[in-house]
């Protein structure tokens, strides 16, 4: 599974064997970073805004299971921990997360 993002807010999930899009998620506008959990059950997306949003989606159902807002600072990276339950995002120096 591969995830891609676009500025129109779409996160697409791709089958890496067939090359076909298997699901499209409608997220906040200007999604720039995505990460898939090691378990393959969750995908996280983050917007590019200063007060960015992180959304976590269930890949199977396509439903948003968590949304976090007002994370101060532009996100530079997003990744899940190996357990697939926790994730972190790196922000520019001096930024704070709520």
Rama region for 24: left / alpha / beta (φ>0; ψ in -120 to 50; rest): beta
**In this predicted model, what pLDDT tens digit does every residue of 33-82 receive, in sequence order?**
899 999 899 998 887 665 677 889 999 999 999 988 766 667 777 888 88
Question: How many alpha carbons lie under 13 Å from residue 7 in its C-beta half-sphere?
Answer: 1
pLDDT over threshold 80, residue 11: yes
Secondary element (H or E) of residue 58? strand 51-58
Domain boundaries, the chain: 2-82
Please state whether the predicted TM-score (pTM) of the whole model is above 0.85: no
């Amino acid at each position: 599974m591969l995830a891609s993002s676009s500025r129109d807010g779409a996160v697409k999930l791709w089958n890496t064997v067939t090359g076909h899009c298997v699901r499209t998620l409608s997220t906040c506008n200007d999604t720039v970073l995505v990460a898939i959990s090691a378990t393959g059950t969750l995908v996280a997306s983050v917007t590019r805004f200063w007060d960015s949003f992180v959304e976590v989606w269930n890949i199977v159902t396509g439903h948003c299971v968590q949304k976090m807002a007002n994370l101060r600072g532009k996100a530079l990276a997003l990744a899940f921990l190996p357990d697939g339950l926790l994730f972190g995002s790196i922000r520019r120096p001096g930024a704070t997360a709520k």
